[in-house]
Amino acid sequence: MDTSSYLNAVVDQTSTFAEWVDGRDAAAPVPTCPKWTLADLVDHVGATHRMVAMLVGEQLSEPSKAFAAYVPAPADSAQWGLWMVEGAAAAKQAFESVADDTPVWDPSGAAAGVPFWSRRLFGEASVHRADAAAALNKRYELAPESAVAALEDWLDTMTSRGYWENRPDFAKAMRGDGQTLHFHATDAPGEWLARREQNRVALEHTHTEADVTLSGPAADLLLVISRRRKLDAAPDLELHGDPALLDRWIEHMDWVTD
C-alpha cells in the first residue's frame, strides 16, 4: 500500500468506527484495553488524527507543538461520529500537501516521516476498530491484504530503534541471544522473522525455521499479536515450537492496551 491507499483506508475504517460509537455509552468498558472506557478509546483515536494532521501538515521537525495542541473528544457522545469523521478527513488533507520525502518528525529513529505516519494511522485504525468491536459487540472484519499491512505496521513499529530506546521495559524484556519468532499469514503474502538480540529486535521478511512459529489467517494473527484476542480464541492459528517464547512476546505487546 502507498501513502494515498493508507489514508483512503483510514477514512473508510474511521467511518465505520464513527458509526459504531456515535451516541453510545461513554462509560462502556473496552475489554481489549482494560484501563479504557469507550470515551478514552474515541478520544485517543480522534486526537491522534489531529496530532498527525498537524505534524504532517506543518512539517514539524519535533513533536511538542502537536502534543500541546491535543484536542479532546466531545463530552457528548452524540457528537462523536462527526468529530471522528472530521479528524480523519483533516489527516487525509494534511498528507495531500506533502510528498513521501518531505521531512517530518517520527518516533521510529529511521527518519521515516510521511510514510511512517500514513501507515501508522492505518495501523491505528485497524487495531482500534477491533477495540470498538469488542466494546460494542460488533463483528470485526479486515481483508487479508489489509491485515498484513496492519501487521507490518505493528511489528515494524514495535521493533524500531526508537521504540527500543524509548521503552526500556520493553528492551529489557526482549533482549536476547538469538531467539527467533516466525509469524506467517496463510491467506495473503506476509511473513516475518523476529530475532531477539542484545541491543534490538531484528525483523526480517523471510520463510525459515524458528524457535516458535505462529501461522494462520492474517486478521487472526493481527488480533493475537496485538493482544486483541487470546490465542485459544483463535482456533485457525497454528502454533509450533516453544510456546513460552510467544507468551513472553505477547505479554510485552502492551503498547496501546495499557
Q: Which DSSP symbol is given to 29?
A: B
- pLDDT of 255: 72
pLDDT mean over 214-234: 97
pLDDT mean over 181-186: 98
**Rg (alpha carbons) of the chain, rounded to whole number:** 18
* Residue 133 confidence (pLDDT) above 80: yes
3-class DSSP assignment, residue 157: helix
Q: Which DSSP symbol is given to 82?
A: H
* Residue 136 confidence (pLDDT) above 90: yes
pLDDT band at 11 (very low <50, low <70, confident <90, very high): very high
β pairing state of 238-241 and 212-216? antiparallel
pLDDT digits (tens, 9 = 90+) for 51-96: 999 999 999 999 999 999 998 999 999 999 999 999 999 999 999 9
pLDDT mean over 120-138: 98
What's CA 206's distance to the chain center, in Å?
22
Q: Which residues of 60-91 are buried (b: 16+ CB within 10 A; e: fewer)?
A: eeeeeebeeeeeebbeebeebbebbbebbbeb
- pLDDT of 88: 98
pLDDT digits (tens, 9 = 90+) for 71-81: 899 999 999 99
- pLDDT of 110: 87
pLDDT mean over 173-177: 94
pLDDT band at 253 (very low <50, low <70, confident <90, very high): confident
pLDDT mean over 6-27: 98
Q: Percent of the chain having pLDDT more than 70?
A: 99
3-class DSSP assignment, residue 179: strand
User: Quick check: 213 and 184 in contact, CB under 8 A?
Assistant: yes
- pLDDT of 243: 96
pLDDT mean over 20-35: 96
What predicted TM-score, i.e. pTM, was given to this entire model?
0.95
- pLDDT of 111: 86
CA pair distance 20, 26, nearest whole angstrom: 12
pLDDT band at 257 (very low <50, low <70, confident <90, very high): low
